[in-house]
Structure 1
Amino acid sequence: MYAIVKTGGKQYKVAPGDKLNIEKLDAEVGAKVELDAICVVDGSKVEADPAKAAATKVVAVILEQFKGEKQLVFKFKKRKNYKKLRGHRQQLTRIEIESVGSAKASKPAAKKAAAKKADEVKPAADQAEKADAKKAPAEKKPAAKKPVEKKPAAKKADEKPASDDAE
């Protein structure tokens, strides 16, 4: 199940467990906020009417308040000696979607345990790949290049042979 929510003049596609950066919300870190849904998709059922979709609750938790990357604003008019360079850093809020309607995000502990098991299996596979990589160059040797024979340049009839005595 996912929903399209509107916040900060923009629209975002969100599902339970998603993390996203949106324009600043006036709330404390850890607070729960409710976002306005304008479309809800639940399997094959689509509710595109904003009035009916607004009945679906999209709950998010605020993780962090921070500033975005610096955006440079350069104003310039040719032949008028006019240049201005200004910077801007947008205030942003990082949120995590807790639930969309009745669907809730799965617990992150299960994801961490699965990731640890995958990490344990990886080193053995990595060692096998490294061993294969070491063997591969030894098996494939580039073909030896044949030396290129240079042909003597043709002598012109007008040329005299060069000698050490003729100076």
Structure 2
Amino acid sequence: MAYAIFKTGGKQYRVQTGDVIDVECINTLEEGAEASFDQVLMVENDGKVTVGTPMVEGATVSAKVVSQFRGKKIIAFKFKRRKGFHKKKGSRRAMTKLEITAINA
């Protein structure tokens, strides 16, 4: 089975056709929309590995947007010992769930 490594949102993902992954929020896409990623770093197809310098020319990863959602809550807790200082702040990242439909090399 072919796989690819592509970059989006400052992170790299190793995917195969049919995978469902969570990536940083892509605001311009609605649910059900098609997305194409051209920043492909590596492609493996039938044992033949193609590594880009830095990107593989002409390679794309196609995906369908499954949903837009917010991730798990993350707590940032700061304190200074013996000073009575503590600060608690929480945040939830906006995420996009993608289903990989095709890898074109």
Contact 1:38 1:53 in 2 (8 A): yes
Of Structure 1 and Structure 2, the greater strand share is in 2
Identity rate of aligned residues, in percent?
37
Paired position in structure 1 for 2:58? 55
Of Structure 1 and Structure 2, the greater helix share is in 1
SS where residue 79 of structure 1 aligns? Answer: coil
Paired position in structure 2 for 1:28? 30
What pairs up with 1:80-119 in 2 under 5 angstroms? 80-101=83-104
Q: Which protein, 1 or 2, shows the higher relative CO under an 8 Å CA cutoff with sep ≥ 6?
A: 2
Query: How far apart, CA to CA, are the structure 2 residues paired with 1:81 and 1:52?
Result: 51
- Please tell me whether Structure 1 or Structure 2 has the larger radius of gyration of its CA atoms: 1
Query: How far apart, CA to CA, are the structure 2 residues paired with 1:33 and 1:92?
Result: 15
Deviation at 1:50, TM superposition (A): 3.9
- In the alignment, structure 2 segments of 5+ residues that lack a partner are none
Query: How far apart, CA to CA, are the structure 1 residues paired with 2:94 and 2:85?
Result: 29
User: Partner amino acid for 2:98?
Assistant: I
Deviation at 1:52, TM superposition (A): 5.6
Paired position in structure 1 for 2:49? 46
The runs of at least 4 aligned residues of structure 1 exceeding 2 Å deviation read: none
Please give the TM-score of this superposition, normalised by the length of structure 2. Answer: 0.90
Paired position in structure 2 for 1:3? 4
Task: Let me know the Cα RMSD of the aligned residues.
Answer: 1.4
Contact 1:38 1:54 in 2 (8 A): no
Please give the TM-score of this superposition, normalised by the length of structure 1. Answer: 0.58
1:39-84 alpha-carbon deviations (Å, 9 max, x no partner): 0011221111245614112100101000001111100001121100
